[in-house]
Structure 1
Amino acid sequence: MRLRIPLFLTAAALLFSAWALGAAPHQVSLSELFPSQTQAKTAIVINKVLERYHYRKVTFDEAFARSVLDNYLEALDPGRSFFLARDVERFEGGARRLNENLRRGELDSAFDIFRVYRMRVDERVAYALGLITRPFDFTVDESYQFDRAKAPWAKTDAELDELWRLRVKNDFLSLRIAGKSDEDIRERLRQRYDSLARRIQQFTGDDVFQTFMSAYTETLEPHTSYMSPATSENFDIGMKLSLEGIGAVLRSDNEYTVIQKTIPGGPARDSGQVSAGDRIIGVAQGLDGKIEDVVGWRLQDVVDKIRGSKGSVVRLQLVSQAGGHKGGTREVSLVRNEIKLEDQAAKDSVIDQLPNAPGLKIGVIELPAFYRDFEAETHGKRDFKSTTRDVRQILNKLVGQGVDGVVIDLRGNGGGALAEATSLTGLFIDTGPVVQVKDSSGKVEVERDTDPGVAYAGPLAVLVDRDSASASEIFAGAIQDYGRGLVIGEPTFGKGTVQTLVDLNRYVPGDQTNLGRLRLTMAEFFRVSGGSTQLKGVEPDVHFPAGDDPAEHGERSLHNPLPWARIDAADYQHAQVPDAAALTRQSTERIGQDVGFKMLERRNQVLREVKEETRVSLRESDRRAEDKHRRTLFEDEKDRFLRARGITPVKEDADQVDEDALEAQRNAIARIQVEEAARVLADGIRLESASRPKAAMRN
């Protein structure tokens, strides 16, 4: 039996793990933490589905079992702060049998590891609670290694004690720098550590099973994961894109909950005060509710605190990405609201003052997602809302305004409906293939634009960045392959795989037990030129300075991603585009003198420094000096840029903020790359115009 792959690439698919239900509210005894028959049955079914349908063919041998164990230990103890080396050695001894145990649905070793983990957490929390009652000397030259992903496991309890002494001291100092009193800090840390132990004690057998099976499935590649019945229910909520919340995708990073991205049209994005990379360290309900410290919480529990009814207020205590493990905190109030399709709709503007091309007008279409109202379409509404419909109308409008070229802005666009990526490409090409899809059996299907004619035949550019993913990469890749326009910006995310949801109950007909679902990678996208969008993404024709090493971002930064691959090219017609090398030289010269790009580079420099850090000073004077230096570096450059644009700088963390001035400031920063993309396209128009007479003479 062959499963049909639903070709739907929604950004909501990224949200499923963040919308799982919170933990049970009661303590679970250790005697309850043993595998059930249902879990054993589910494991066997998962094995069969993976072996038969997963895109990557892997041998379930001892090496694979060791990788599963490593993933499971990382999921439980990413900072290597609980397990001892002797614990891990014992676990590794059992890994030699783990592959055979998994085939038979035997999960005893996974539950054994978790029971040890829970005991170690109780031991460490008890020790930490004793530490917070003692005084700390913040004049001593000590440091704390917060990134221990590659550190050796502690060999003795004494080693763990020292690690935790430094950890608690760092937690204390971080809150002191944030302006908390010592008395408040001790109470807050007591609640933090108590909460850590309590939440681990609330893990049910189902929680343990999901954690282990996700570690197991993700050993194949990063986008395959198991969803328990409870998680499946919340995934369905997310797929509707109408979750009443703040509109942010969250992920876990060691013991912190991090904003992975904000959703267009959501309260977090609209506020302008929440950014990708921010760490959530506290959550409060309403305008005057008490802040709950959420450091060390499970992702599911943090999300459960943030979710709420439309119109209600949630307050977040955040640490900016640039602050790293040294910076202070800020508090943001958000009114929960629904995220609707119309909030993600395409928007247009015109840039008509180009120093390098006086008199030219460039239209800009900002496209946050590839949206399509499937519900309205299912009900037979002919005018259902879609990306292609909206962009077609905007193109007609821009042409009516006399634009000389169009820039499609796909920065931050994480994808959406594949049908929209295909039909949107069709607005710019006559007919032909747009993307190839190869499934796990090796069969290749081609998604085509079959609608003859084009909606816009003029000069075109596509602006992308490191967060342009999936359907965005399909569209940008097709435009580039056809030579229909320039791709400008940064290398894209590199997600070129297709996932589908498999209901595990279909493999046990007649059984009424709900086994949950598997999010399964079953296919890969290939451009019409034959190369995959996987891993490498789409390489721009004209590069903007990258924020960091492309290998440190996107699919390339994930554990065990599928490799880049190539298949035969489809039958398509390639056209010539303006000289990308010449355009790059002109753009590079401008960027080198542009105060806006200088500001972006300074910000990127600060973020690179943060990413490269693995430890922080525990001497208070050093920490405060480093924090001030880092903030000053970026703020000075930002103020210089804003004043050059005639905008009075506004401090976002001031007690009273002029929201209109703040919005103008944010818009100016967001337009830096768009305006340069418009200048690049204008250069291309001038180049093409200059070469036209020579081409006519040759004919």
Structure 2
Amino acid sequence: MTATLAALLIMPSTAISIERLSPEPVHTQAGPVVGQLLSRYHYRDQSLDEELSRKVYDAYFEALDPERYYFLEEDLMEFRHRDDSLAQELRSGRLDTAFDIFARYRQRVEQRSDFARDILDTSLDFTTDETFDPDRREAGWAESRQELDEIWRKRIAHDALTQMMSGRQWDEVRESLQGRYQRVATNLEQYDAEDVFQAYMSTWAGQFDPHSSYMSPRRSENFDINMRLSLEGIGAMLSSEGDFVEVVELISGGPAANSGQISSGDRIVGVGQEADGIEDVVGRRLSDVVDLIRGPKGSTVYLRILPDGGDGRERTIALERNTVELEEQAAQAEVREVEREGETLNIGVITLPAFYADFEAASAGDEDYRSTTEDVRRLLESDKLAEIDGLIIDLRGNSGGSLEEAVRLTSLFLNDGPVVQVNRSNGRREVLRDTSGQALRYTGPLGVMVDHGSASASEIFAAAVQDYGRGVIMGNQTFGKGTVQSLVGLDRFGVGDANTTTGRLKLTIAKFYRVNGESTQLEGVTPDLALPSPFTSDESGERAADRALPWNTISAADYRRVGTLDAHLDELRVRHLDRLSTEPALISVAREAELLREERRETEVSLNEEVRRATMEARDQARLEATNARLAAYGRPLLESLEDKDRDELPDVLLDEGVEVLGDLAVLMASDRSLLKAQGAAAN
């Protein structure tokens, strides 16, 4: 179960004392329509049959309880006789099984809430040699209440130690956890039939691919708000994962991304409007947490974060609420210097947080409308970049945006030719190229920097540069999102009436393919030169998602390689690998990345307070030493503790290595030109 899908599925509903929920007439209308749209128009050609029914059955339990804290194995067995008939039920508009399973979920949550609060009334032992793995997404279902009791006893001890590691005293911790576990049950009272329907329909959609989902009217409204960026917040896409709210994606240019203090995969466990008034939000429904985070522009929100991986220690950060303005996502340029053969070379760097366009201004006929391509063109023609010897396009963390802008941007660096192929679910294939007729703006040495957060439109641009041999790609394997989604309102198919607001289905209808015929889906773009990363290729991006569409190939488009890079890539790689093994700054960054990978791998934690604290201190010391090694390599003052760490003051070692690579490429290409000139003179 992916975090994004779980976001739609975990919001609790009514407690067991509340009247049992039942589907409303609009749901019995909408269910068959959702099924038909998925089976007819989704890119994955998949029938609503018994095999899919069985997958949906298991996935629905996992969606409601992704970390296996509530259901027992006997619950799955009790309803198992219906598992192969769910498709038939859906086609006929019957949703009994979904609501029956949810009723059992509601019952189990209340039982666990009571058990947890009873445990907290007793004393907990933090001197044992026990361990606990809080990541239970791959665990089996408990076979008995006794087994689940033991799991919960350890979870409670872990939750308590997590707060104690942040300096809180036991009485405060116990009060906090009592409220947390009570809230898990009482928040069920906010659930309604639409929430259950959304959970179940999204389970069906999620069996087609992780980017397809059903959005209730309420969730549709929130989706539109995010797209318009019309409410002030922290600039992050959030979802629910079990009882927690998880950060799925940071929006480029937003407060969260700019702070450098929060990452995708982190969990938000507390929200406050004052530093001393942070409210625990574990067990709260996602919409409530979002409402707490939103507020007036310029005001401050305090978040208590449980970082992804690590030792389970919470930390508090402060973010100033703001909208993500176009200006904050706009392309920006700088020039960096690098020494080569006794000369100083100027390497331009254009940072692109997103692929954007002011569509309203363009539609109104404004010739000076803001867009990625127009802004980059202006920068290339500016005095700042007038005398550069090489250029880097920095797409790290760029999660995409406008497909049209990705296509148009390539024309600043490549002559007319295809950029990307789009293959639709109906078999129709389209080859996209820039048709604006704009001229080349830069023909010199080119590099593109990418990382695991570079997705969609970023991958299309980087892939085109790589396939044409126009420039060197540096960084890490990209996200691997090579699919296209469409939003379909169910009211178009006769669902509901004039007095009913209906939901929407988001479904995948097409895939992107590079001009060489390879899909960007799943595999993304593999860099020519790899840089240190805290992530392995299979634990981030599309490759970590359930039911992701596969990578495949189609026939190549009609294109011709420029080949600018071909003669020099091997030499660039030799020089790059030499610096990776000898340059202190790069060695320190590789060590920092290794430490983060180790922390994520070691998900099991000690339930002994002394051992937990010692582990935490050892990790802090290792991270401090690696960070200071980076600072020392630049002659910067060293830190006394990690609390003094400011991301804005840390040198960007990876970008500096990119500049080194472009310096090498500039010299090699200059040698080519000199050789050609000499050969031409000799011929004359």
TM-score interval, smaller chain: over 0.9
Q: 1:148 to 1:664 in 2, by over 3 A?
A: closer
How far apart, in 2, do the equivalents of 1:19 and 1:113 lie? 16
Instruction: Kindly report which structure 2 residues correspond to 1:41-120, keeping only aligned pairs within 5 A, or say none.
Output: 41-120=29-108
Q: Is the 8 A contact 1:356 1:682 kept in 2?
A: no
How far apart, in 2, do the equivalents of 1:251 and 1:409 lie? 28
Q: 1:313 to 1:304 in 2, by over 3 A?
A: same
Displacement of 1:599: 2.7
Give CA-to-partner distance per residue, 1:431-480, whole Å, 9 cap, x none.
12111111111101121112152011111111111110000001111111
Instruction: Kindly report which structure 2 residues correspond to 1:211-250, keeping only aligned pairs within 5 A, or say none.
Output: 211-250=199-238
How far apart, in 2, do the equivalents of 1:272 and 1:341 lie? 20
Find out whether 1:542 has 2:542 as its counterpart. Answer: no
| TM-score of the aligned structures, taking structure 1 as reference length | 0.92
The partner residue of 2:289 within 286, 299, 302 is 302
Which residue is equivalent to 1:597?
586
Q: Is the 8 A contact 2:474 2:531 kept in 1?
A: yes
Q: Tell me which moved more, 642-651 or 67-76.
A: 642-651
Which residue is equivalent to 2:444?
458
Residue type at the aligned position of 1:686:
V
Residue type at the aligned position of 1:490:
N
How far apart, in 2, do the equivalents of 1:349 and 1:469 lie? 23
Which residue is equivalent to 2:549?
562
How far apart, in 2, do the equivalents of 1:155 and 1:270 lie? 46
Report the secondary structure of 2:418's partner residue. strand
Q: Is the 8 A contact 1:319 1:330 kept in 2?
A: yes
Instruction: Kindly report which structure 2 residues correspond to 1:56-455, keeping only aligned pairs within 5 A, or say none.
Output: 56-286=44-274, 288=276, 290-321=277-308, 323-325=310-312, 327=313, 329-354=314-339, 358-397=343-382, 401-450=386-435, 451-455=437-441
Q: Is the 8 A contact 2:446 2:470 kept in 1?
A: yes
Displacement of 1:689: 2.7
How far apart, in 1, do the equivalents of 2:570 and 2:532 lie? 15
Identity over aligned residues, as a percent?
44
Q: Tell me which moved more, 642-651 or 493-502.
A: 642-651
Find out whether 1:508 has 2:488 as its counterpart. Answer: no
Residue type at the aligned position of 2:306:
V
Displacement of 1:508: 1.1
Which residue is equivalent to 2:649?
665
Report the secondary structure of 1:449's partner residue. coil
How far apart, in 2, do the equivalents of 1:163 and 1:420 lie? 51
Find out whether 1:637 has 2:621 as its counterpart. Answer: no
Report the secondary structure of 1:596's partner residue. helix
Give CA-to-partner distance per residue, 1:574-609, whole Å, 9 cap, x none.
121143222112101101122332232222222222
Q: Is the 8 A contact 1:34 1:111 kept in 2?
A: yes
Which residue is equivalent to 1:6?
none
How far apart, in 2, do the equivalents of 1:30 and 1:129 lie? 21
Q: How many residues align structurally?
A: 674
| TM-score of the aligned structures, taking structure 2 as reference length | 0.93
Q: 1:93 to 1:624 in 2, by over 3 A?
A: same
Residue type at the aligned position of 2:467:
D
CA RMSD of aligned residues (A): 2.4
Unmatched segments (≥5 aa) in structure 1: 1-13
Which residue is equivalent to 1:4?
none
Displacement of 1:79: 1.4
Q: 1:263 to 1:229 in 2, by over 3 A?
A: same
How far apart, in 2, do the equivalents of 1:152 and 1:357 lie? 63
How far apart, in 1, do the equivalents of 2:61 and 2:587 lie? 42
The partner residue of 1:685 within 655, 666, 673 is 666
How far apart, in 1, do the equivalents of 2:391 and 2:659 lie? 8
Displacement of 1:531: 1.1
Give CA-to-partner distance per residue, 1:618-673, whole Å, 9 cap, x none.
1111101111111111111101211321222457875xx6xxx936523x1xx211
How far apart, in 2, do the equivalents of 1:22 and 1:374 lie? 35
Q: Tell me which moved more, 64-73 or 107-116.
A: 64-73
Displacement of 1:16: 11
Q: Tell me which moved more, 145-154 or 472-481.
A: 145-154
Q: Tell me which moved more, 643-652 or 174-183.
A: 643-652
Which residue is equivalent to 1:476?
462
Q: Is the 8 A contact 1:356 1:679 kept in 2?
A: no
How far apart, in 1, do the equivalents of 2:76 and 2:38 lie? 27
How far apart, in 1, do the equivalents of 2:254 and 2:520 lie? 28
How far apart, in 1, do the equivalents of 2:20 and 2:146 lie? 31
Q: Is the 8 A contact 2:15 2:107 kept in 1?
A: no
Q: Tell me which moved more, 296-305 or 633-642.
A: 296-305
Displacement of 1:616: 1.4
How far apart, in 2, do the equivalents of 1:664 and 1:88 lie? 50
Unmatched segments (≥5 aa) in structure 2: none
Displacement of 1:100: 1.1
Displacement of 1:282: 0.8
Displacement of 1:400: 5.1
Find out whether 1:499 has 2:488 as its counterpart. Answer: no
Report the secondary structure of 2:419's partner residue. strand
Residue type at the aligned position of 1:580:
L
